[in-house]
Structure 1
């Protein structure tokens, strides 16, 4: 219980720091510079998401040599930090440079966090991990409070970057040579289910992070930044949704009878649908009311129209969680991958069609693409369940 509380607290602090950093940067950077940062951060966080989604569960379960993965992630983060500094130098904005370096440092810190959790480290190290994260939170709040004084902006963000580099540096992450061979060996040893789920995750996450880049070419870097601001403001809704995943998997896997598993999933979905609607309406009301205080006037005009589709896409995660949990328990990786591919294809078609209708229409196209992914995945899941029932095949 103590370890669970510490590691959960660490993850929450990590999420809060990222959220506070985004709110800070949208107020401190010009719309164009924030758009540049958002594009850079999207690539950095794509690496972090891959580390979590593809390797995270395996790392914590102790099924792989964790150092091989964190070494590679650390090397990518170091390259990213260097690139971020160069981007900031090229743009003439020290704050943009520090923010880009912080995004890469966050990726490295996240990798080390999984390494510590996998190592079953002592309570002393656990406490130091929480202290380091607490320092990041304090630095993030200082950065959030920096508004008009240029020197205070740079000092507070320098503290945030330094605090983010504590764990990667102390752990020796940046001094280790990368070991991609271990990663390749794991992927070769991985079973068909895990390999397929990794591909499904890569398709879904890659589309979610990279598809909005279409907005840069069509609407401009500042408008792309506004889209990312709206998605960041909707992030707490997604955080609430994903927090239920372990509990759902545990509940469904605890049912030995395959029919009881399906019934449990149906009940969770029956609850998830109204909850998703309630989350959308509540978050939209709160954010539209508070947007003036959170977003500067030069971004507010863009962000206000994008909140509804951004929150809708996040709320759809609630609807998809029960089906995703049953897919994990039944090991229906093909269902997940097929639904993801078809949904992403629909999202691309809708998004490319909507670009001529404006940024709001483009954002709604992304949300409808998410709805298509969820709907098609559920349709394929029902088809697979019916097929197994007719054939009398037990779930593997």
Structure 2
């Protein structure tokens, strides 16, 4: 048995205590962007009905929101290298607050300004992602980075769990007219109706803007450790090829593809849930009632992440990832070819399987990248653009072959994640 000296134990204890405060602060950020992201699932059916959009047009919400990750991630990485991780997080919070504030004039302008608001909001969240994820990976033992990131992601899932129910109450509580009913109204009444329905988002998003600004001020004065990456001895010994780019690491390249497909699959399922539950052969639920069940989807991810925090201290992250991906594929197939409550609960259970995927893929992709960690984090956050592309593809399929079969798109995404988990199942055996 390896002997650890008393001073070493005390040093590890003090380091753990010193990291607790910063970890709590960063965890608050995870909660906020979870809340903001999941509110999209409520706004999509609301705007679809309000502006009589097709599925493809409605998915422009996710296209603009997650498209920001692709366009902003690299500039965000450059910004954070220049001003630091903490100031970068404050900047991200301020930009996200500005995006929320844009929803107020959008209610009086139309769908296009809503899309701009989604883009600006997501740009702020992207900066937060690039800054906060590396914080979690360095605040403790590298071998438990997956477990630690899973714990913080659990609070991200708490935000996504609260958001659909909260949005259902604040945004979907009023009755929405169907396209045929709206068409029978005089043009002036149609305009007034759309304005009143759009205005239901103003109060909630102004409140979120204020909360983000308060959090930015608190975060600016918080005492957080400085993050710097150098070529440590372990990394140099393991990397005798003297790689000059993060893209030279195969686990990062495949991890970026995994993040693209995972986020795309998760977001795509969430975006279509309210419409799926409204299908006559599923449950025929009204949007406001269906929104409450969407919370089960995101709530499952939250519960699974708390479980994963403990399980992945003894189980290989790669094996856990592969197992959850296989379960997701099976559940989606049940939802596609099933009916009634069975199909509904099967698709909701995918949320539980999603739980560990993002933090596990993210931390596996960053494993032993040393000085390339910041660059790699930007690349991985850039890959979150999958949340823009995959729902759009599912929307195309839903408009052409039907909503049920369109879920084959996220099923295909989880197939690659299954492969990634199996391929890198032994990654952490190389850890010192």
TM range (shorter): 0.3 to 0.5
Q: What's the TM-score once normalised by structure 1's chain length? A: 0.47
Q: Which has the higher contact order (CA 8 A, sep 6+)?
A: 2
| Greater helix share, structure number | 1
